[in-house]
Structure 1
Amino acid sequence: MKKLLLTAALLISSAASAVTLDDVQQRFAAQQVVRAAFQQERQISGMAQPLHSSGEVLIAKSKGLWWQQQHPFPMTLILDDSHMVQVMGSQAPQIITADSNPQMFQFNHLLRALFQADRKVLDENFTSEFTDLGKGQWQLVLTPTTTPLDKLFSTITLQGEKFLNRIELNDKQGDFTEITFSKHRPEPGKLTREEQQRFVF
């Protein structure tokens, strides 16, 4: 009898602590600013060696996404509600708007939704399979249902805990991209003056 009660208590405790997609969305929604380092590895079909890149990323709920690749060459990408800006080294910025490239902008919108686990956007574009991996860790496998995403990707897999730790992209060409995030820094909770300037262009 004691053994049965103990087993029941453990099951109840496990169920109570299970992570859900709603939990993840609420957690991410509460994060006003997150800074992190990233490592990216891309395996291209037909190439023997994968391509590696690394740098820093800044996700600001009020501003957008700032992505700065530092290696193997400098490149900065800025995504906000109305613009996508790419800067290669010392070249002049390339600015894309929703009017000039709506397909690219749809992907921009999706990318921000991934980082923020925006349930509405994810439900509109994917079927999802959420798994509680235990100890607060989780995995979300997204299968595209809308065009052009379903023509580009087979699946997009997100993994994390308190923060987004990993993104895996399986595309229709047989290529595979893995992006891992580390050194997450949610403080200070507001953008510094220098960080605010990154979104001015």
Structure 2
Amino acid sequence: MHRLIGYLLALCCISSLAYGETLENIQHALAKQSLVTGHFEQTRNIPALSRPLKSSGQFYIVKNRALLWDQQQPFAQQSLLTESAIYQGQNGQLSQRDTGSAQMSQYFSQLLVDIFSGDFTGLSEQFDIEQTATTTANWQLNLSPQQAPLKQIFSQISLRGKQGVVEHIRLVEQRGDQTDIVLRMATPALPLPTFLKQVLVSD
């Protein structure tokens, strides 16, 4: 679960995306977003389990500053990445994790923060990116990892959107696990939790 926190919820607020637009257009649109918030529903299918694992909650991304994954169901759990640390806990009572033990979570979380900041330089170094668009209201990006550690974990990451908003993310792992995340953007943005504001001030 901790590893999946970091994948949340990339490219959630792309604006004015039309057929034939380039990655540069997407990058410029992302760079305009200073705060992205919303609700998520996550379903993870593991071949060894007869039923999928489901979770839901809210997410908050502050450009160049922080990424909060606030899971509310089936149990409360919060994971927060800032520029300098990783925090985890419940009900706003978060404690800092050792970055060594959470290196993979930090790596992927930072990757998503970069995407929301419109920084595609690192993304293109890590992935082969295929863009697909069928109509002006529908588009898809398929990301294929080029090298370790991403290539050791994922076979592909897909992002699908409609009318300028990312609605779905699919993570396909090498071992056969598949995670689908449905995103619903909040307009206006959800208010930042008090503990997140405090972390941003002190970080």
The two structures have a TM-score, normalised by structure 1, of 0.78
Alignment partners' CA distance in 2, 1:115 and 1:179: 17
> More relative contact order in 1 or in 2 (CA 8 Å, sep 6+)?
2
Shift of the 87–129 alpha-carbon distance from structure 1 to 2, 3 Å rule, reads same
Question: Is the Cα contact below 8 Å between 2:161 and 2:167 reproduced in 1?
Answer: yes
Among 69, 80, 83, the alignment partner of 1:81 is 83
What's 2:110 paired with?
Answer: 109
Amino acid at match of 1:133: T
Please show how residues 47-86 of structure 1 align to structure 2 within 5 Å: 47-86=49-88
Shift of the 120–134 alpha-carbon distance from structure 1 to 2, 3 Å rule, reads same
Aligned residues: 183
Question: Is the Cα contact below 8 Å between 1:19 and 1:138 reproduced in 2?
Answer: no
What 5-or-longer segments of structure 2 have no aligned partner? Answer: 1-17
| Identity %, equivalent residues | 33
Please show how residues 10-21 of structure 1 align to structure 2 within 5 Å: 18-21=20-23
Q: After alignment, is 106-115 or 143-152 more displaced?
A: 106-115
SS at match of 2:26: helix
The structure where helix makes up a greater share of residues is: 1
SS at match of 1:150: helix
CA RMSD of aligned residues (A): 2.7
1:114 is displaced (CA, Å) by 4.5
Alignment partners' CA distance in 2, 1:63 and 1:43: 31
What's 1:37 paired with?
Answer: 39
What's 1:172 paired with?
Answer: 174
Alignment partners' CA distance in 2, 1:17 and 1:152: 31
1:163 is displaced (CA, Å) by 2.8
What's 1:149 paired with?
Answer: 150
Alignment partners' CA distance in 2, 1:157 and 1:117: 18
Deviation per CA, 1:99-156: give whole Å up to 9, x if none.
6654443222223234455311211101110112322432110111121110000001
What's 1:140 paired with?
Answer: 141
Larger radius of gyration: 1
Question: Is the Cα contact below 8 Å between 1:33 and 1:186 reproduced in 2?
Answer: no
The two structures have a TM-score, normalised by structure 2, of 0.78
